[in-house]
Amino acid sequence: GVGVPSATAPSAATNADKPPATAKEIIYCKSCTLFPPNPNAPAPKTIERPPGCRTVFVGGLPAGMTEEVMREIFERCGEITTLRLSKKNFCHIRYVYEASVDSAIYLSGYRVKIGSNFTYGGGGSAEPKEPPIFGVLHVDYAQARDDQYEYECKQRKLQREKRHRERLEEDRFRSLSPQPVVHYTEHEAGSVAERLKNDETFAKAVQTLVTWLERGDCSKKNANNFYSMIQSTNSHVRRLLSEKSVCDEELKRAREQYRRQTKGMLAQCKYTLAVHKKVWDHFTKAQRKNIDAWKKQSLDIKCVQLDDFPDEDGMDMSEDDHSVSSLPCKKARWEQDHKDHAVDTDRGTADSAAEHQSLHDSELKMKILHIEVLQETIRNLQTQLLENKAKETERQNRICELEDELKDANVKQLLLKTKIATSKAAASSAASVSSSGKGATETATADDGPTVPVVPNEREAKMLAFASTFLMINPHGAPFEQVWAYVGRYVNEMKPKELEDMFARYRQLFER
């Protein structure tokens, strides 16, 4: 098994930059032997790989290295195109494929031994025929002009192919160019005159006629033909105007019908009688809420309809209707009356129809703009609501943190007060013991020993604090087992004997 990766191995490029996970093997060749470097030695350094590199530099060759031996070593990495061996113990090798370079870099650091791998002689003597020659291979990337030139050519080829694909894609989505207009002839003029009389082919025929006039194809000889085509165009325009007037009349009738139906609907939207005191008391609270919502909705609809269609027939309105129809509604109705009067006076001409259409479009745009403003306002309110909720959550969390800190501070304060009280009690007890000890006998003094003031340690102070806290919660007292269970939750590995000793030591604080 040869320890050199093949030229087609996909992992060769990744193994060239980092040391392999397994130890390299010894490589046996016909004329030499390659010994792997020390696994603990640092990886051989290489320069940054040039783009499109297919040439490697091999240094550290022994003195007796030949081109045949070099080919024998490095041909196993891939097919070699050029091998230039220098007299200064280095050479340059150019491969066919770029992947072969990574396999050659793998051999960097190997120690090469040139010489016979066998011994000769008879009997027990074993002497080498020739002394071996050693050298350490150093393989690195080489910067070659041929590699750079071929890489640039390859990149330009890829860019050309990319531009070609983009051009094909643009041509595929590009709209087809219009067909060229035919030149004027007597036959084409007759064909265009016939197509001008047909509604389906009128548009293309008019375009052809306009193009001929722009080109200057009209002359004194064919002026009659052009006049007849222009006359056909004028007839078609008059027919369109007459059809437009018919459509305007139909639109007017539809508007009048819509206005009458809307007034009938508005007359039916009456909820005033339902809110009378005698009737209102019979409904439940939920029913009253629904009736109020329906009444408000109907009044809003009436206000909108009155803005669109002014009251021309002097229709009576209730007090609620007048309250809904505010000053902006009256102003809008007055403007609509004025616009309708202007439209009625100028309806006989085509310009008045265009003006009416433009006014309608402007009103539609204003309504759309008003809707967009309302939507933007709603979005802003929603964003503000989310921000307020986030702030409220943050403040609530802060309140919880402050409450926890306050609890900890209260516990610490209680511990401190307990320590102070314990110290005072211990000092007073020590003073009383010392005063009573003066009148005692020497034997009692020898038996009892010197009196030392009782100073509680941190564990005892903790037990005092929690026991005091529990007994403050239970002012009428509590069994010893309950006190021991409560204090044991906060003081680790506390035995009942410790608690009994503490109660006995501080009798002035606790009483059984």
- pLDDT digit string (tens) for 32-49? 888 888 888 888 888 999
CA dist 487 → 220, 271, 466, 469, 473 (Å): 124, 72, 6, 10, 13
Min mean pLDDT across 23-37, 172-186, 245-259 is at 172-186
CA-wise closest residue to 73 among 31, 105, 36? 31
Given a cut of 70, is residue 331 above it in pLDDT? no
- Residues 97, 7: contact at Cβ < 8 Å? yes
Mean pLDDT of the chain: 77
Q: Closest by alpha carbon to 332, among 310, 359, 356?
A: 310
Q: Tell me if 146 sits within 8 A of 123, measured CB to CB.
A: no
Q: Check whether 55 has a pLDDT greater than 90.
A: yes
Strand pairing category for 32-35 and 27-28:
antiparallel
Q: What is the pLDDT of residue 19?
A: 47
The pLDDT value recorded for residue 406 is 82
pLDDT at 314: 43
- Band (142; pLDDT cuts 50, 70, 90): very high
Q: What is the pLDDT of residues 58-86, one digit of tens each?
A: 998 888 788 898 998 898 899 999 999 98
User: For the chain, what is the radius of gyration of the CA atoms?
Assistant: 54
What number is the average pLDDT over the span 227-234? 88
How far does the chain reach from its first CA to its final CA, in angstroms? 90
Q: Report the range of poorest mean pLDDT among 170-179, 181-190, 382-391, 400-409.
A: 170-179
User: How far is C-alpha 400 from the geometric centre of its chain's CA atoms?
Assistant: 33
Q: E-strand spans in 277-433?
A: none
Output the CA–CA distances (angstroms, integers) from residue 161 to 51, 151, 174, 208, 481, in the order listed.
Answer: 20, 15, 20, 41, 90
DSSP 137: -
Six-digit token string for 288: 């009253």
* Residue 309 to residue 256: CA distance in whole angstroms: 10
Per-residue pLDDT at 409? 80
**Residue 85 three-state SS:** strand
Which amino acid is residue 28, in one-letter code? Y
Residue-level pLDDT at 15:
44
DSSP three-state, residue 173: helix
What amino acid is encoded at 113 in this protein?
A: K
Q: Range with the lowest mean pLDDT among 3-7, 279-283, 368-372?
A: 3-7
Cα-based angle 245, 345, 334 (whole degrees, multiple of 5): 120
123 pLDDT band, cuts 50/70/90, is very low
Question: Residue 93, SS3?
Answer: strand
Phi, psi of 100 (to 5 degrees): -65, -25
Residue with token string 């990744």: 14
Q: Quote the distance between the C-alpha of residue 423 and its chain's center.
A: 63
Min mean pLDDT across 233-237, 354-358, 437-441 is at 437-441
pLDDT digits (tens, 9 = 90+) for 358-413: 777 888 888 888 788 888 888 888 888 888 889 889 888 989 888 888 877 877 88
What is the rounded distance in angstroms from the CA atom of residue 260 to the CA atom of residue 253?
Answer: 11
Q: What angle do CA 70, 76, 80 make, to 5 degrees?
A: 65
pLDDT band for position 326 (cuts 50, 70, 90): very low
Predicted pLDDT of residue 95: 94
Percent of the chain's residues with pLDDT above 70: 73
- Tell me what pLDDT residue 129 has: 57
Q: Nearest 5°: CA angle at 17, between 15 and 21?
A: 45
Residues in the chain: 512
Q: What percent of the chain has pLDDT over 90?
A: 13
Banded pLDDT at 308 (limits 50, 70, 90): low
Q: Which residue reads 């393989």 in tokens?
A: 139
Quick one: pLDDT at residue 348? 52
What's the average model confidence in pLDDT over 350-361? 67
- Express each pLDDT in 264-280 by its tens digit: 776 665 555 555 566 67
- Lowest pLDDT segment from 120-134, 139-153, 283-297, 476-490: 120-134
pLDDT at 1 over 60: no
pLDDT digits (tens, 9 = 90+) for 97-114: 999 999 999 888 888 888
Look up the pTM and report it. Answer: 0.33
Query: What residues have CB less than 8 Å from 491, skipping those under 6 apart?
Result: 459, 462, 463, 466
Please give the pLDDT value at position 14. 41
